[in-house]
Amino acid sequence: MHEMILCKLGEVVLKGLNRRSFEDKLMSNIRRRVSKCGEFRIYSKQSTIYVEPQSDECDMAAAYDACKKVFGIICVSKAVPCAKDVQSIIATAKDYLSDSMRCARSFKVESKRADKTFPLTSIQLSQQVGGALHQAFPMCEVNVHDPELTVHIEIRDEQAYVHGPSEPAAGGLPLGMGGTAVSLLSGGIDSPVSSYMIAKRGVNLEMVHFFSPPYTSEAAKEKVLSLAKLLVPWCGRMTVQIVPFTEIQEEIRRCCPEEYFTLIMRRFMMRIAQRVADQIHAKALVTGENLGQVASQTIEALGVTEDVTTVPVLRPLIGMDKEDIIRLSRKIGTFDTSILPYEDCCTVFTPRHPRTRPHLDEVREAEADLDIEGLVERAMKGREFVRLKF
């Protein structure tokens, strides 16, 4: 018996003329993800991508888990091929699904025939296989309306397939189809989630993190790298650009009115992220900003912040409640790391009374004495690059 993984395409099937390129991208993304788990043949037929192990050494459990996190796939299941005759199909189903049949209280069989020359109709095939399975596992009742377990049989050109239960996968669109964006990654709860959400729409990410030693510690930086590593199975390989931010923050404190500290600092983050985007030809910036969460995230403050950018600033969390953000952060596995208590450069030199309704002209005026170009230039020069792979 030789098991394989079936990945069902999600939104990709709604694509028109360019569907082929979405499928090709998805297959190459799957190929890259499972390459660590052994040698697999990967091909697509009728809205399904088949991931077929080529040797007994393949780590099927790891490959299955990897496929569940590939954007573009809506659900995954395992299946076993067999000869296209009813007796082989029954024998395979009994053997392959014995554990699931023993655990479920009810089941039904659903058959699909891609090969219309097969001598039985789908209904006849379901009835025969269903009857044989019920005889073999009498504790499991037939229930065609609301079964606990659905046994899928597919008759394809060369062989038949018996599926195990399917599980939900990542959804979204294949990584890379939406180009590249620069994501501003802090150590908090929000920005790992915003990164995940934009990657899910098919966008490759380059991460930028600002750190301010000695105000922020080495441990805080390590925490951000741990978060980035947790994102790799979803967002793919990435580079984290770590930008020294101390000089900028000290200059702001020295030269600018306290009520504007945070806003001016955020404008520097955006300027630097914009430079990075220009260098790598990224088409947008991504932040974890959320309307009204803090003083620097009012509508007016967001306007002041994005004033210094030319590419769109994507803020996928803008209208979400914190509860929903936390739920997502638990789902993708970043929450427990995000809540570790380390400082962020945003919490250094915070004003006692930040402006919540800033005027752009006043902010521009407030930063006019700074050597903006020189500060940005030196921060860019001081970057450290950390490359993360699967």
Q: Does 289 bind ligand ATP (CB under 6 A)?
A: yes
- Binding-site member from 209, 221, 223, 355 for ligand ATP (CB under 6 A): 209
The rounded distance, in Å, linking the Cα atoms of 204 and 179 is 6
Contact 295, 355 (CB under 8 A): yes
Q: Does 238 bind ligand ATP (CB under 6 A)?
A: no
Q: Does 345 bind ligand ATP (CB under 6 A)?
A: yes
- Binding-site member from 287, 298, 329, 334 for ligand ATP (CB under 6 A): 287
Instruction: With H, G, I as helix, E, B as strand and everything else as coil, classify residue 29.
Output: helix
Q: Which position's Cβ is nearest Mg ion?
A: 188
Contact 63, 5 (CB under 8 A): yes
Nearer to Mg ion among residue 81 and residue 188 (C-beta): 188
Nearer to ligand ATP among residue 108 and residue 209 (C-beta): 209
Instruction: With H, G, I as helix, E, B as strand and everything else as coil, classify residue 99.
Output: helix
The rounded distance, in Å, linking the Cα atoms of 72 and 32 is 14
**R_g over Cα of the chain:** 26
Q: How far is the CB of 370 from ligand ATP (least distance, A)?
A: 19
Q: Does 128 bind ligand ATP (CB under 6 A)?
A: no
User: Applying CB under 6 A, which part among 63-71, 136-144, 174-182, 283-291 lies near ligand ATP?
Assistant: 283-291
Nearer to ligand ATP among residue 176 and residue 288 (C-beta): 288
Q: Does 189 bind ligand ATP (CB under 6 A)?
A: yes
Nearer to Mg ion among residue 29 and residue 287 (C-beta): 287
Q: How many CA atoms lie within 13 A of 327 on its CB side?
A: 6
Q: How many CA atoms lie within 13 A of 84 on its CB side?
A: 17
Q: Does 210 bind ligand ATP (CB under 6 A)?
A: yes
Q: How far is the CB of 189 from Mg ion (least distance, A)?
A: 8
Nearer to Mg ion among residue 29 and residue 262 (C-beta): 262
Instruction: Show the tokens assigned to 249.
Output: 């923050």
Compute CA 145 distance to the chain's CA centroid, rounded to the nearest angstrom. Answer: 34
Contact 182, 276 (CB under 8 A): yes
- Helix or strand holding residue 86 (H, E): helix 86-96
- Binding-site member from 23, 154, 190, 206 for ligand ATP (CB under 6 A): 190
Contacts of residue 213, Cβ cutoff 8 Å, sequence gap at least 6: 244, 246
From the list ligand ATP, Mg ion, none, which binds 345 (C-beta under 5 to 8 Å, kind-based)?
ligand ATP
Q: How far is the CB of 177 from ligand ATP (least distance, A)?
A: 23
Contacts of residue 246, Cβ cutoff 8 Å, sequence gap at least 6: 212, 213, 214, 215
User: Applying CB under 6 A, which part among 15-23, 53-61, 188-196, 365-373 lies near ligand ATP?
Assistant: 188-196
Nearer to Mg ion among residue 190 and residue 306 (C-beta): 190
- Binding-site member from 81, 164, 288, 358 for ligand ATP (CB under 6 A): 288
- Binding-site member from 48, 122, 180, 293 for ligand ATP (CB under 6 A): 293
Dihedral (CA of 274, 275, 276, 280) sign: positive
From the list Mg ion, ligand ATP, none, which binds 329 (C-beta under 5 to 8 Å, kind-based)?
none
From the list Mg ion, ligand ATP, none, which binds 355 (C-beta under 5 to 8 Å, kind-based)?
none
Q: Does 294 bind ligand ATP (CB under 6 A)?
A: yes
Q: How far is the CB of 195 from ligand ATP (least distance, A)?
A: 8
Residues at the contact surface with Mg ion, assessed by CB under 5 A? 186, 188, 344, 346
Q: Which position's Cβ is nearest ligand ATP?
A: 188
Q: Does 140 bind ligand ATP (CB under 6 A)?
A: no
DSSP state of 281: T
* Region of 172 on the Ramachandran plot (φ > 0 left; ψ -120 to 50 alpha; else beta): left
Nearest of 200, 203, 206 to residue 234 by alpha carbon: 200
Nearer to Mg ion among residue 188 and residue 316 (C-beta): 188
The rounded distance, in Å, linking the Cα atoms of 348 and 166 is 48
The rounded distance, in Å, linking the Cα atoms of 173 and 9 is 9
The residue count for binding ligand ATP (CB under 6 A) is 20
Contacts of residue 263, Cβ cutoff 8 Å, sequence gap at least 6: 296, 301, 304, 305, 354, 355, 358, 363
Residues that bind ligand ATP (CB under 6 A): 184-186, 188-191, 208-210, 269, 287-289, 293-294, 296, 344-346
